[in-house]
Amino acid sequence: MSLILKHKREKLEKQSQFIFIDNQGFVTDSCDSIFKTDGLLHQHIAEWFPFLESIYDHVAAKKVEEPEFRFSRLNAPFSLLPGIYDFVFSKVLIEGKEVLLWEIHDYTTLYEEFIRQQQACNEIIIKSERINAIQKVLQTQRINLSKRNADLEQLQKIRTKYYKKIEGGILQIERRATPHLLAKKIKDRETIDYITAIEHSLLQAKDFVEELIILTNAQDNYEFTEQSFEIYDLLNTISFRFDEEHANSNIELSISVHKDIPEKMIGNFTYLKHLIGGLILNYAKIIQAGIIEIQLAPTTIQQANLIKIKFYLQSYSINGKLPIYLGKVKRFNNHDNHDFGDIKSEIELRLSIIRHFVEQHQGKFSVESDEDNGVGISFTFPYVLSEEKL
């Protein structure tokens, strides 16, 4: 045999395996180039693995003259076949006897690059579709919000500005990703990473808009019928809602109440529940992990029946009780405006939401963050003490 033929045979031999099966479904011969069959010879091939079980009856019923059956790209069909294979079944005549021939062709290496390309294309398509869907939701919400009263104009402004950034981001995606998609070829991870970042920002935007809607709904439903309620009821409700939303997260809530805080006060319970609950949930999104400690303390009492309560939120890392420091929060303090439309800065955006709502409700808002003490935000609201207590 010529050297080239010898070389070719050696190389190709490793890529496929031929197996003969008798009409009882047992292996009579195998070249074992890909996997060893000896341990399996006593078993009917339909019992080898589920793929064979599901097609055995059909391939066994084939006739010699019928065309072969090919099953392409079988993905790890069996523990001894961990890659990607084509199976081909045909009936052949061997020494005058009909035998089922099962060919196994190993295409694992052939498909490696193909899988990478397909994965990249699919990811981009899925992400672009999601982004479009979120964009639609945002558009309808914009209409809803613009129907609301003039009080919300300020909010609407923040939102519109944010929305513009998003639209810009979507244009960028289209410009960057479309040529890749048309060519069905993504050269590097860069485009995918970029789109992932935009998708992330959009999801934040969606969250943000949803929060605005919850808060503005709470505001819409705010009736001026104030009644007496217990501060512990309020805290319990807030902590219950927090636990519901953070059951599987890395954030814990701890609450402490100063002894001078009265048990009862006057206010709109439902509204406060939404507002304060919303502010705390927002804060939780900023720190992402750790313990949030809410401290309720009275500030100066100006009138006999009026108390200002300070909600102080401090966050710690879960294990070491080290305060969490967020450099970005420091930057927030240096700016002194509400203009936080920047798509990159979620923290600032969330803080501006909190501040906006606190100030809208005659509250005072402040935030501190430094490397020694971590981040703390506080908001102070004035409350009327309940008559019952006085």
Partner 1 sequence: MISKKVILTGSFGVGKTSLFNQFVHSRFSDKYLTTIGVKVNKKVVNIGDEELSILLWDIAGEVSQDKVPVSYFLGANGIIYVFDLTRPTTYKNIMEDINYLKGLLPDGVVKIVGNKKDLVTESEIEGIKQDMALDCDLFTSAKTGENVEELFVLLGKEMLGEVAS
Binder among 26, 35, 55, 176 for partner 1 (CB under 8 A) = 55
What is the three-class DSSP state of 238?
A: helix
Task: Confirm or reject binding of residue 58 to partner 1 (CB under 8 A).
Answer: yes
Which CB sits closer to partner 1, 90 or 237? 90
Tokens of 382: 């004035």
Helix (H) or strand (E) holding 104: strand 97-106
Angle between helices 190-220 and 153-182 (to 10 degrees): 160
Task: Confirm or reject binding of residue 232 to partner 1 (CB under 8 A).
Answer: no
**Closest alpha carbon to 299 in 258, 356, 344, 240:** 258
Binder among 23, 119, 160, 236 for partner 1 (CB under 8 A) = 119
**Closest alpha carbon to 214 in 265, 158, 270, 288:** 270
Burial class (CB within 10 angstroms; exposed 0-12, middle 13-18, buried 19+) of 196: middle
Which CB sits closer to partner 1, 210 or 339? 210
Which CB sits closer to partner 1, 111 or 271? 111
Task: Confirm or reject binding of residue 178 to partner 1 (CB under 8 A).
Answer: no
Binding residues for partner 1, rule CB under 8 A, total 30
Residue 383: partners with Cβ closer than 8 Å, 6 or more residues away: 265, 266, 267, 306, 307, 308, 309
Angle between helices 153-182 and 346-360 (to 10 degrees): 160
Binder among 51, 269, 271, 365 for partner 1 (CB under 8 A) = 51
- The residue range among 46-54, 186-194, 257-265, 312-320 that interacts with partner 1, by the rule CB under 8 A, is 46-54
Cβ proximity of 222 and 268 under 8 Å:
yes
Site for partner 1 in 10-29 (CB under 8 A): none
Residue 208: partners with Cβ closer than 8 Å, 6 or more residues away: 162, 349, 350, 353
- The residue range among 3-11, 72-80, 344-352, 375-383 that interacts with partner 1, by the rule CB under 8 A, is 72-80
Amino acid (one-letter) located at 313: L
Which CB sits closer to partner 1, 52 or 349? 52
Which CB sits closer to partner 1, 109 or 160? 109
What is the three-class DSSP state of 31?
A: coil
Closest contact distance (angstroms) between CB of 209 and partner 1 is 15
Task: Confirm or reject binding of residue 130 to partner 1 (CB under 8 A).
Answer: yes
| Angstrom distance (rounded) from CA 254 to CA 239 | 9
Which CB sits closer to partner 1, 118 or 302? 118
Closest contact distance (angstroms) between CB of 218 and partner 1 is 19
Closest contact distance (angstroms) between CB of 224 and partner 1 is 31
Task: Confirm or reject binding of residue 139 to partner 1 (CB under 8 A).
Answer: no
Cβ proximity of 72 and 142 under 8 Å:
no
Task: Confirm or reject binding of residue 126 to partner 1 (CB under 8 A).
Answer: yes
Task: Confirm or reject binding of residue 253 to partner 1 (CB under 8 A).
Answer: no
Tokens 């701890």 correspond to what residue?
254
Task: Confirm or reject binding of residue 6 to partner 1 (CB under 8 A).
Answer: no
Around Cβ 328, how many Cβ atoms within 10 Å?
15
Site for partner 1 in 74-103 (CB under 8 A): 74-77, 84
Residues lying near partner 1 in the complex (CB under 8 A) are found at 49-51, 53-55, 57-58, 69-77, 84, 111, 114-115, 118-119, 122-123, 125-126, 129-130, 133
